[in-house]
Structure 1
Amino acid sequence: MTDPDSAPLSGLLVVDLSQFLAGPYAALRLMDLGARVIKIERPETGDLTRSLYLTDTEIGGDSTLFHAINRGKESLALDLKDPGDRAALTRLIARADVLIQNFRPGVIERLGFDWQTVRRINPRLVYGSISGYGEDGPWVDRPGQDLLAQARSGLMWLSGDASDAPVPMGLAVADMFAGATLVQGLLAALVRRGVTGRGGLVQTSLLEALVDLQFEVLTTHLNDGGRRPMRAARGSAHAYLSAPYGVYRAADGWLVIAMMPVPRLADLMGLPLEERWRDDPRTWFTDRDRIRSLIAAKIAQRPVADWLALFEPADIWSAPVMDWPDLLTHPGFTGLGLLQDLRGAARDVTTTAAPLRIDGVRPHCATPSPRIGQHSAAIRAEFGL
């Protein structure tokens, strides 16, 4: 268990006006690093993520998603259309170090808690804002939702096989990467504040985060005449990498092979190769589907364990494709201590812990996500709201 007083952000107060995923994810990471996070929620209904179910599973009346992303936070119920509650929030912001919001552009201005307004209340405040597509432009009023952002970003043409329709990532990658991007900016602004005493505004969007996520392949696209991504015919894992990179079906499961000289792999597997594949590495991409078909046909003949027993001693970069039960019981995972139990909810919650260590210790949080307004009375008393 991490000592709260030794955590890097211990003593910092974060006011979290955000909901759904991107903003709350940023606040979660700050909480894991020691910050105190006060989540502002609507009375009665709270954050809409409370009812955004990943499946039909709920914990204490709230979705598992809400519990996963709001652990360790305090809940203050405020109606931002009520003058008294708006005044209370103003006083809280005056004491805060960080504010996070992810309303659609224009909404926070109408509420009166935009950057230009609150910087006059608290010049030391570091203000974080996440939008869907930036603060202006033709998409500014479009819903900033993960799947919609993926669709606009080009990302959906990088996964799947050549014959597949556009394939979205099976995770809310726009939300998560936007939240992570915001945290980077917030921490940098906090460091600057420590030097200058001046707060600052940090802005990002789902689209910006997804474009940055694609920086490697976009740079290739921008400098090779605008050629579009070319997914492999089957088992594709990267639109721009040559054979043997990809996913292969073995006799009893699946495995992946990463970057590797084709002749070296072929000689180990006993595969026939055309001479030009030995002489010209560029053909590993131009003839990618033909080469991968040869590899796939061979791998299908034997089980995964046989291939790994051949590949790993020869330093062939390969791995089994594991599902969650495989992963969660494997010593390679269990030794990391990446799971934690939260006590005190309607029932105990098992979830992930922070994906980093500080001074050799992984931050852990034993406190579950809050009920709506659970801490309202205590916070009002503490801050004189």
Structure 2
Amino acid sequence: MHQRPLEGMLVLDFGQFLSAPSAALRLADLGARVIKVERAGSGDICRRLYISNMELDGDSTLFHSINRNKESFAADLRDPADAAEVHALIRQADVFIQNFRPGVMERLGLHYEAVKAINPAIVYGEITGYGNEGPWAGKPGQDLLVQSMSGLTNEGGTRCGAPPMTLGLAVTDMIAGAHLVQGVLSCLVRRGLTGVGARVEVSLLESALDLQVDSLTAYMNRDDDKAHSQFQPYSRLLPQRQSMPEAQSSCFPMPDNGIYATSDGYVTVQPREQEAAIADHESHDANAANPASLLLATNTKTTQQLSAALEPAGYEVAQVLNWRQLLEEEHFKRLNMVQSITRGNGTTMRTTCCPIRIDGMQFRSEKGSPKVGEDTAAIRKQLIGPTI
């Protein structure tokens, strides 16, 4: 059996909510031992954060999904004895992850310089809402707020003149967590070569901007007004929503595509790359009509009939699936992305597994999320010992 690539690594997860815990989760999937350091008694606030009314074994399903395959160590960081135990863990750790607002870890004595003094080789990863400096540094790093302030809410909409629309997922949290993992792994590689630790900083805002790199780049470089100087790149028209239903901004004119109703559901229609380029060129030079427009103007045809008519004409057609339909698809079943996880008390639930495969190995684990402090005694015995 292949060894997971991060086996032998110890990660301390001080994160709350989604962004930092999602990063620690991915490191756990890849083989690291992840100890979630939580406030004694109440634990991670995410235990009581609900995206629905679903709860399992006293904690929200959101918490379960993002904290599986971890251990929990409960501590009161204001208590000198507990702080000494946490310092003992830091001395043995490879990675330290947190996502508190700027200033919080300084007050707790666990900011980068303090942790580095305890363990110079540690890779210290932190996620903030907007960075550690600037007028927005103290603002709450909440996903919907960041979506609104980053331009994401103006990226999509259902029609021209429609109000801004937030994405229905905590997308800035999750992409920031992914970016932190990339930074942490790169620094672990460097540490393996040089022995030098690192501080990795990620913000929700910067991750949200990176997510929009294509449309944002188009906006910064588009010359709508020929009178504007090339040295005034931000004097551009803002992206406008499409006149057809589509969750994409239109920095550049696009062929008539998007999501369309059929007699038995919805389909997404996109020209194939070569045809899209031709259609875009023709729409500029000859104001040519999209050949699919007439066919898509009516919803009397089934999804299968539309696919049969459009695919030979150079269009890619995909059925718009809901989750029930997706889980019934043969392709989804072959991905084998669903796994069952079990808590120490036997409570089980189904969730997804790690989306990364290495050397053909899919990373799965049956270990569910821990209760607050569930592993404190075992961790104290194995890793800390007497602190006085």
- Cα distance in 2 between the residues matched to 1:215 and 1:221: 10
Match of 1:15 in 2: 12
- Cα distance in 2 between the residues matched to 1:259 and 1:109: 53
Alignment of 1:195-234 (within 5 A): 195-225=193-223, 226-234=236-244
* Structure 1 residue 26 corresponds to structure 2 residue 37: no
- The worse-fitting range, judged by mean Cα deviation, of 59-68 and 223-232 is 223-232
Amino acid at match of 2:11: V
- Cα distance in 2 between the residues matched to 1:292 and 1:242: 13
Match of 1:353 in 2: 353
Shift of 1:312: 3.7
Amino acid at match of 2:162: D
8 Å CA contact 1:68, 1:351 repeated in 2: yes
- Cα distance in 2 between the residues matched to 1:139 and 1:10: 38
Shift of 1:282: 2.5
Match of 1:256 in 2: 268
Q: 1:282 aligns with which of 281, 284, 287?
A: 284
* Structure 1 residue 106 corresponds to structure 2 residue 118: no
Consecutive unaligned residues in structure 1, runs of 5 or more: 266-275
- Cα distance in 2 between the residues matched to 1:26 and 1:208: 16
Q: 1:361 to 1:312 in 2, by over 3 A?
A: farther
Shift of 1:35: 0.3
Alignment of 1:84-233 (within 5 A): 84-161=81-158, 162-225=160-223, 226-233=236-243
Amino acid at match of 1:172: A
Match of 2:55 in 1: 58
- Cα distance in 1 between the residues matched to 2:173 and 2:281: 44
Deviations 1:161-213 (A, max 9, x none): 22321111110001000000000000000000000000000001000100000
Shift of 1:294: 3.8
* Structure 1 residue 242 corresponds to structure 2 residue 254: yes
Amino acid at match of 1:380: R
Deviations 1:314-350 (A, max 9, x none): 5521100000000001001000010100123553110
Match of 2:324 in 1: 325
SS in 2 for 1:204: strand
8 Å CA contact 2:256, 2:293 repeated in 1: no
Amino acid at match of 1:237: A
Match of 2:375 in 1: 375
Identity %: 44
Amino acid at match of 2:143: D
Match of 2:76 in 1: 79
8 Å CA contact 2:141, 2:204 repeated in 1: yes
Shift of 1:310: 2.6
- Cα distance in 1 between the residues matched to 2:272 and 2:188: 43
- Cα distance in 2 between the residues matched to 1:47 and 1:211: 28
- Cα distance in 2 between the residues matched to 1:313 and 1:36: 51
SS in 2 for 1:113: coil
Match of 2:296 in 1: 296
- Cα distance in 1 between the residues matched to 2:214 and 2:152: 12
- The worse-fitting range, judged by mean Cα deviation, of 103-112 and 341-350 is 341-350
8 Å CA contact 1:60, 1:346 repeated in 2: no
SS in 2 for 1:282: helix
- Cα distance in 2 between the residues matched to 1:178 and 1:94: 26
Amino acid at match of 2:183: G
Match of 2:233 in 1: none
- Cα distance in 2 between the residues matched to 1:360 and 1:278: 40
SS in 2 for 1:6: coil
- Cα distance in 1 between the residues matched to 2:176 and 2:369: 22
Shift of 1:88: 0.8
TM-score, normalised on structure 1?
0.90
TM-score, normalised on structure 2?
0.90
